[in-house]
Amino acid sequence: MLSPRYHREIPQRYRLEAGKCTGCGKIHFPPRSVCKECGGRAFEMEKLPSKGKVLTCTTVEIPPAEFDDQKPYVNAIVELENGVRLTCMVAEAPPDEVDVGTEVELVFRRLRCGREWEVLQYGYKAVVV
């Protein structure tokens, strides 16, 4: 069963908040406790931009069981407008519509479900804009 607390925490877990070093300005996602650029330990929260473009991508034809209902799908490294890079699935697009340079936007979606998972899991995916 899903608890009310679990529901309340979902937006906090997935609201794409990064840590910006107050010493050198480097943005870390996910946030770190020590800056890998300058060794600083002070950060301020920075909301990541939702838009970016595909740096590289690959089509997954034979996924793990919990993603089987979504195959084939594209996994991409996306560079956001502020230069932060992250890996995510590209949703709602046939693999031949996604390539290097494709402009995408991060959205909140169901990630996976299946017999092994008691609850649906949610997080961010990219969609073509």
Binding site for Zn ion (CB under 5 A): 21, 23-24, 26, 35, 37-38, 40
Phi, psi of 65 (to 5 degrees): -55, -40
Least CB distance to Zn ion at residue 39 (A) = 7
Name the E strands within 17-98.
17-21, 27-28, 43-47, 51-60, 73-80, 85-91
Closer by beta carbon to Zn ion, 12 or else 33: 33
Give CA separation, 127 vs 18, 24, 50, 97, 113, in Å: 21, 32, 10, 11, 20
Closer by beta carbon to Zn ion, 38 or else 55: 38
Least CB distance to Zn ion at residue 45 (A) = 15
Closer by beta carbon to Zn ion, 28 or else 125: 28
Among residues 25, 7, 27, the alpha carbon closest in space to that of 16 is found at: 27
Least CB distance to Zn ion at residue 50 (A) = 24
